[in-house]
Amino acid sequence: MRRLKSIGAFAYDFVVGDDWRVAAVVVAALAVTALLVHAAGVNAWWLLPVCVFAALGWSLRRATAGSRS
Amino acid sequence: MTALPLILTVFVACAVEAVEALTIVLASGLTREWRSTFQGTAAALVVLGVVVAAIGPALTLLPLWVLRLVVGALLAIFGVQWLRKAILRAAGYKSLHDEASAYLREVAAAKSAAVTSRRGVRDWYAFTLSFKGVLLEGLEVVFIVLTFGANQHNLDAAVIGAAAAVIVVAATGIAVRAPLAKVPENAMKFAVGIMLTSFGIFWGAEGAGVAWPGNDAALLALVPVVALVSLGYTVLLRQRRPAVPVASVPHTSEEVTSS
């Protein structure tokens, strides 16, 4: 059981890394993109890059928030 | 897309990981003993080879849109994590990865451990140190080889890029018998983060059903845009950074302290 837990923790750390919010934003952006393309007929190629850049900025802001002068 | 960008991307990504693995192998071999170190390295390489051989062909059997959606999402998440660390390092919020100091830490730990023989291995510490080092760094290489190779239906090209990187780094390490501290590792990690994120966005969106303007040529615009945004964040963070050395920047979150 302990070994399974440590494998799970390693897999989480390996893929998701330090900030789970980035992974959540990427998955949500892909879901919304698929919805826009298939349900609304909108070729939303721009949505994922915008969300990734926003998630990166948000994550960097959180990581450095307490270090500002 | 031709095989060259695929080979080059995999080569650079794998070279970075190979440099880190080499540091651990050298620390183990030079301070403990080479035979057990090579046994550990060889065992890890066998495990990694089995993973590629088992998962690689299975991945190429998946429908392309599923592969692109799942692999694109994973690559985008993985790439942003690389990019985030690289930006924090470049902006001075996180200390630069230094192979020389990493080597000294490994040497100090290796010198203090006792010599024990187990399962036909003369020095179990040297074996496990090199096995774990090569396996953990190698798993990132395997991830990149599988995702890039499967998506392009060109696993062979990805394996060639990875093998070339490992051979070049190993040959250089054998020649100099020291950690490759002069390799611009942080700059390479920044570049790899940009490539992983760009390919992840491209394939993930395609998997979700998007038709990119210009098809594959969109990548030629996407990579510079990701690079520009990343550099922009780096400049912004540098301007906001308090005027204190990296070592004395308060550790306010888990990512600033993790390596």
Q: For the CA atoms of B253, A62, A50, B83, what is the dihedral angle to 10 degrees? A: -30
A23/B210 Cβ within 8 A? no
Phi then psi dihedrals of residue A16, to 5 deg? -80, -40
Residue range(s) defining the domain that contains residue B204: 3-240
State the burial class of residue A36 (Cβ atoms within 10 Å of its Cβ: 0-12, 13-18, 19+): middle
Nearest to B73 among A26, A56, A66 (CB): A26
Residue range(s) defining the domain that contains residue A33: 18-67
* Secondary structure letter of residue A66 according to DSSP: G
Tell me, what's the pLDDT at B4? 81
Q: What is the pLDDT of residues A28-61, one digit of tens each?
A: 999 999 999 999 999 999 999 999 999 999 999 9
Which residues, including other chains, have CB under 8 Å from residue B191's CB and lie 6 or more apart? B12
- Which chain B residues touch A23 with a CB distance below 8 Å? 77
Would the pTM of this model clear 0.95, i.e. be above it? no
Residue B245, domain member (yes or no): no
Number of domains in chain A: 1
Number of domains in chain B: 1
CA–CA gap between residue B190 and residue B144 (Å, rounded): 15
Q: Are the C-beta atoms of A19 and B81 separated by less than 8 Å?
A: yes
Residue A45, domain member (yes or no): yes
In this structure, which amino acid lies at residue B53?
A
Tell me, what's the pLDDT at B253? 39
Tell me, what's the pLDDT at B249? 41
Tell me, what's the pLDDT at B92? 85
Residue A4 confidence class, pLDDT cut points 50, 70, 90: confident
Residue A7, domain member (yes or no): no
- Which chain A residues touch B93 with a CB distance below 8 Å? 63-64, 67
CA–CA gap between residue A17 and residue B49 (Å, rounded): 24
Taking CB atoms and an 8 Å cut-off, how many pairs form between chains A and B? Answer: 126
Residue A46, domain member (yes or no): yes
Residue B109, domain member (yes or no): yes
Tell me, what's the pLDDT at B96? 65
Q: What is the pLDDT of residues B185-207, one digit of tens each?
A: 778 888 888 988 998 999 999 99
Residue A1, domain member (yes or no): no
> Which ranges of chain B have pLDDT less than 70?
1-2, 96-100, 110-115, 178-183, 243-259
Which token pair is B80? 């942003």
A67/B256 Cβ within 8 A? yes
Q: Are the C-beta atoms of B207 and B66 separated by less than 8 Å?
A: yes
User: The dihedral of CA B96, B98, B104, B106: what is its sign?
Assistant: positive
Residue A63, domain member (yes or no): yes
Which residues, including other chains, have CB under 8 Å from residue B122's CB and lie 6 or more apart? B33, B35, B36, B115
Nearest to B255 among A18, A37, A49 (CB): A18
> Residue B179: beta bridge partners?
none
Residue A30, domain member (yes or no): yes
Residue A50, domain member (yes or no): yes
Tell me, what's the pLDDT at B231? 95
Tell me, what's the pLDDT at A36? 96
B45 touches chain A (CB under 8 A): no
Residue A10, domain member (yes or no): no
